[in-house]
Amino acid sequence: MQRSGSGWFETLLNSHVNISSNGEIFSVKERRNNISSIVQTLDKVYNLDWYSSASKNECTAAIGFKWMLNQGLMQHHDEIVKYFNQSGVSAIFLFRRNLLRRMVSILANTHDRDAKQLNGTHKAHVHSRDEADVLARYKPAINTTLLVAELKKMDKWGADALEYFKSTRHIVLYYEDLVNKRNKVKDVLKFLKLPKRKLSSRQVKIHTRPLSDQVANWDAVYNTLKGTEYESFLHADYQM
């Protein structure tokens, strides 16, 4: 899902000399119009190394891309699972445990699309602490009337994805674990059958403060989630 750390995670993977990940290829609507266009796009990506010279001076042992759940993946899951299994595609599911933090990130990113706070340009990801601090100044207000329903929807979306793709070769990761336990990346390399390497990213996290400092109507949000199944989101945080 968007704003779950996938951009940062992909830059980590791409810092490995044997990995080539091609970004969010299905953000282009024409590539996901129907299952035929989806399969045609998949074939092109997985054949790239045959037809073009690799950008790295090493053997590309894993080639892939980033695919958001709302980009045709869920609507055409039966055919895509068949393609994955027939073609030997491995899937990495990256989720975010604290869906409230994800919501803050979505609202802040949406705000910056219009406000363009960094010299008149919109940036979904930044590479300096100064830029991150500018974007982090904005405190979104969360619609508490829809909050629990939205969290339930996000929860179900992820659970459905895992159910649909349970027959594929896959691994499930959580953004918080990748941040707190850097050894988690080794599990990914082992899953991809690649040699261990130190992976790095130039991306800088935008929201690092406690959630109570980042939400304009924090008291209302707190009272809405207190006593619900999502109360842990109010307290659970990770160290940066």
What residue segments make up the domains of the chain, in order of their start?
Answer: 6-235
**139 class by beta-carbon count within 10 Å (0-12 exposed, 13-18 middle, 19+ buried):** middle
Helices of type H across 116-231:
129-136, 144-164, 175-180, 184-191, 218-225
In Å, how far are 12, 53, 92, 108, 109 from 42, measured between CA atoms? 22, 18, 16, 32, 29
Q: Strand 90-95 to strand 169-174: parallel, antiparallel, or no bridges (unpaired)?
A: parallel
Residue 173: name the closest of 5, 3, 2 by CA: 5
Residue 177: name the closest of 67, 98, 85, 102 by CA: 98
pTM, 2 dp: 0.90
**How far apart, in whole angstroms, are the C-alpha atoms of residue 136 and residue 67?**
26
Each residue's pLDDT expressed in tens, for the chain with a length of 240 residues: 999 999 999 999 999 999 999 999 999 999 999 999 999 999 999 887 655 555 555 678 899 999 999 999 999 999 999 999 999 999 999 999 999 999 999 999 999 999 999 999 999 899 999 999 999 999 999 999 999 999 999 999 999 999 999 999 999 999 999 999 878 999 999 999 999 999 999 999 999 999 999 999 999 999 999 999 999 999 866 544
Burial 68-80 (b: 16+ CB within 10 A, else e): ebebbbeeebeeb
At residue 92, the 3 state secondary structure works out as strand
**How far apart, in whole angstroms, are the C-alpha atoms of residue 84 and residue 170?**
10
Pick the CATH number of 6-235 from 1.10.150, 3.40.50, 3.30.70, 1.10.10: 3.40.50
Answer whether 212's CB lies under 8 Å from 223's CB.
no
Q: 230: which DSSP letter?
A: T
